[in-house]
Amino acid sequence: MLLTLKEFLTTCWPALLATAAAAYLLGSLNFAIIVTRIWEKTDIRKHGSGNAGATNVLRSQGKVPALFTVIGDLLKSFAAVILGGFLVQMAAGSATQEQRELYMLFGRYFAGLICIIGHIYPLYFGFRGGKGVLTTLGMMLILDWKATMICLGVFILVVLLSRMVSLGSCCAAASLPVVTCLFHFTVYQHNDRLAALFCTAMTFFIAVILIAKHWANLKRIAAGTESRFSIGSKKNG
């Protein structure tokens, strides 16, 4: 094994603390709230479903604010993941190149997770944020774009068939750890099984968070009362 958990934590705990702080502060930049405050001088959490996310912005404010929300939430996730990988890799010191790559991988996943938590519980907005779907997408586009494209395909297919964004989000979240596991243990064939297990465990934990945040939606789906997506009913922005 190239790296043990004890070695990683012993070497990297200061970098992990710095990563957690930076990723959380970046995640707390909830662009659904920021954009609607600038665009309409209002709080998105007082409109529509009350969720601070791109879907609610699209439904209640229009296409242009929703587009800026998508871009902002993706970019903050990109920044957190890249920064986390850099900070943790720098802590590797004189480790081999292969070990440094593993440090960077672990740092990126950790930063992505904390950024998602920041998005859901933003420091700047009373700890009431969104559900973390776009932030997860941004994180995974950097970390594993192949697996992400499959999960995105699941999302699009389910939304087209059901016209429910919440159901598509939950199905995509559920598929994420499965696809990640398959890719890391077959396609990527890591020399270090810890890396494959870590990536699978992190995506599983993220999937649990996303599905838990959609629990009220799932109950409405079961009751047949969940809102269905219809682009024709939205503002033009």
- Residue-wise pLDDT tens digits, 107-124: 999 999 999 999 999 999
Q: Give the pLDDT band (50/70/90) at residue 99.
A: confident
Question: Smallest Cα–Cα separation from 15: which of 69, 86, 113?
Answer: 86
- Check whether 3 has a pLDDT greater than 60: no
- How much is the pLDDT for 33? 95
- Encoded tokens for 153: 């395909």
- Check whether 185 has a pLDDT greater than 50: yes
- How much is the pLDDT for 215? 94
- Residue-wise pLDDT tens digits, 51-95: 999 989 998 889 999 999 999 999 999 999 999 999 988 887 766
Residue 96 CB neighbour total at 10 angstroms: 11
Separation between Cα atoms, residue 10 and residue 42, nearest integer Å: 46
SS (H, E, C) the chain: CCCCHHHHHHHHHHHHHHHHHHHHHHHCCCHHHHHHHHHCCCCHHHCCCCCCCHHHHHHHCCHHHHHHHHHHHHHHHHHHHHHHHHHHHHCCCCCCHHHHHHHHHHHHHHHHHHHHHHHHCCHHHCCCCCCCHHHHHHHHHHHCHHHHHHHHHHHHHHHHHHCCHHHHHHHHHHHHHHHHHHHHHHHCCCCCHHHHHHHHHHHHHHHHHHHHHCHHHHHHHHHCCCCCCCHHHCCCC
- Check whether 8 has a pLDDT greater than 80: no
